[in-house]
Structure 1
Amino acid sequence: MTPFLLPRLASAGLLLLMTSACASAPPAADPPPAAAVSAATIDSLWQQIQAASANAVCDNSSQCHALGVGAKACGGPESYIAWSSKQDDGAALKQLVARHAAARRADNVREAVMSTCSMVSPPGASCQANRCVLGPKANIAAPDVQ
């Protein structure tokens, strides 16, 4: 080796070593998408909603309300439940309903659900025999995939 080549090889080796040390760490794994909602989670939220709205006692119809639940693929609720404001303001129930609707929307996206896009009109609620009940056109079945 010539004295001229040795410093250049050393410089090249040092440069290679330095540039490899600057390599960035591999990117962190992406968190699972919000759409990764299990059917068990949706069912659990629905059971919690039913339990939270089960005590729909009332003295008069002004204490009764209809609340849209679920999420159709085209938007809007899948059905309605009756709840009473006699004992509380329904904040916990509304939070459960919002979480359930978000889970249903995510599930609709993940499953590429299609819908007829028909609207489910709010049925209203009234107090009958000291219990809040939905109006006559209510769809009270558990929300399911369109």
Structure 2
Amino acid sequence: MKIKHLKYIIALALAPLVACSQAGNQDNSENPDIKPVDFQQQIQTAIADKSCNSDADCALVEVGAKPCGGPESYEPYSKPNVDEARLLELATAYKKERQDYFKENQIMGICVVTPEPHVSCVNNQCVASEQSLKVQ
């Protein structure tokens, strides 16, 4: 009779361990880090050719979003080498994805503003550089 009770005690003691091991094997379809569309990678691919002839060929795209607002970063691109409508579509979709993620997970930030850099054509490549901040 004592052996019968011991089996139940062992079964009850192991039940939480089995449940924990099964929780780690759940489907990742709702994991926000695994997306069928990787907007950030598509943006980087779209702007990969940064070749230019003058500053007028260069522009910036806002990439992502911060919890308090504003973009995560600014990326330079070459206007003649990019489908700007498609780039804007990708950037907007990625921004919305990030904003939705922050809202769903109640994520807050420290509200640091990413300053918009200056973009120019240097050595026939569009580059971004920090602007000197001036009080006007």
Range class of TM-score, shorter chain: 0.5 to 0.7
User: Between the two proteins, what is the percent identity of the paired residues?
Assistant: 32
User: Quick one: which amino acid aligns to residue 129 of structure 1?
Assistant: N
Partner of residue 102, structure 1:
96
Normalising by structure 2, we get a TM-score of 0.68
**Which residue of 40, 49, 59 corresponds with 2:53?**
59
2:42 pairs with 1:48: yes
Question: How well do the aligned residues superpose, as a CA RMSD in angstroms?
Answer: 2.0
User: Quick one: which amino acid aligns to residue 62 of structure 2?
Assistant: G
Q: Which runs of 5+ in 1 are unaligned?
A: 1-35, 138-146
Q: How big is each residue's C-alpha offset from its partner over 1:23-71, in whole Å with a ceiling of 9 and x where there is no partner?
A: xxxxxxxxxxxxx782222871111010001011110011111111111
**Which residue of 111, 116, 123 corresponds with 1:122?**
116
Partner of residue 78, structure 1:
72
Paired with 2:101 and 2:36, the residues of 1 have a C-alpha distance of 9
Whether the 8 Å CA contact 1:69–1:101 is kept in 2: the answer is yes
User: Quick one: which amino acid aligns to residue 135 of structure 1?
Assistant: S
The count of aligned residue pairs is 102
Paired with 2:116 and 2:97, the residues of 1 have a C-alpha distance of 21
Whether the 8 Å CA contact 1:73–1:114 is kept in 2: the answer is yes
More helix as a share of residues: 2
2:127 pairs with 1:133: yes
> How far 1:124 moved relative to its partner?
2.2
Paired with 1:129 and 1:44, the residues of 2 have a C-alpha distance of 31
**Segment drifting more, 80-89 vs 97-106:** 80-89
Q: Which has the larger radius of gyration?
A: 1
Paired with 1:42 and 1:100, the residues of 2 have a C-alpha distance of 13
Whether the 8 Å CA contact 2:47–2:82 is kept in 1: the answer is no
Q: Which runs of 5+ in 2 are unaligned?
A: 1-29, 132-136
Whether the 8 Å CA contact 1:42–1:104 is kept in 2: the answer is no
Whether the 8 Å CA contact 1:58–1:127 is kept in 2: the answer is yes
